[in-house]
Amino acid sequence: MSQSRTFSGLTHTVLITAIAFSFALTSAGCGKAQEKTDLSGIHSSAAPETMAETTAPASSLSKAETTGPSSSVPAEPVPTSGAASKKSVRATVETYSKGNIKVEYPSVSGMSDASLQKKVNDLLKKNALSVMDNYPDSKEPIDQDKDILDVTCKVISSDTNRITVTYEGYYNMEGAAHPTNLFYANTVNMKTADNLGFSEFADPYTMAGYVLSDDVILKTKDKEITAAFMKGRKDTTLEQYTQCFKNADFPLKTGLDGKTASWPDSFSYEEGGEVFFTIPVAHALGDYVIVEYDPATK
Cis peptide before 69 (omega within 30 of 0): no
Is the model's pTM score more than 0.85?
no
Q: Cα(35)–Cα(208) distance, rounded to whole angstroms?
A: 19
Q: What is the pLDDT of residues 71-129, one digit of tens each?
A: 455 555 454 444 443 567 999 999 999 999 999 999 999 999 999 999 999 999 999 99
> What is 185-251 written as a DSSP string?
EEEEETTTTEEE-HHHHS-HHHHHHHHHSTT-EES---HHHHHHHHHHGGGS-HHHHHHHHHT-SSS
Output the CA torsion sign for 92, 279, 242, 5.
negative
- Sequence spans of domains, the chain: 23-297
Q: What is the pLDDT of residues 114-137, one digit of tens each?
A: 999 999 999 999 999 999 988 876
Which SS3 state, helix, strand or coil, does residue 32 take?
Answer: coil
Q: Report the b/e string of 137-164 with b at 16+ CB within 10 A.
A: beeebbbbeebbbbbbbbbbbbbbebbb
Q: What is the pLDDT of residue 55?
A: 33
Q: What is the pLDDT of residues 50-67, one digit of tens each?
A: 333 333 333 333 333 333
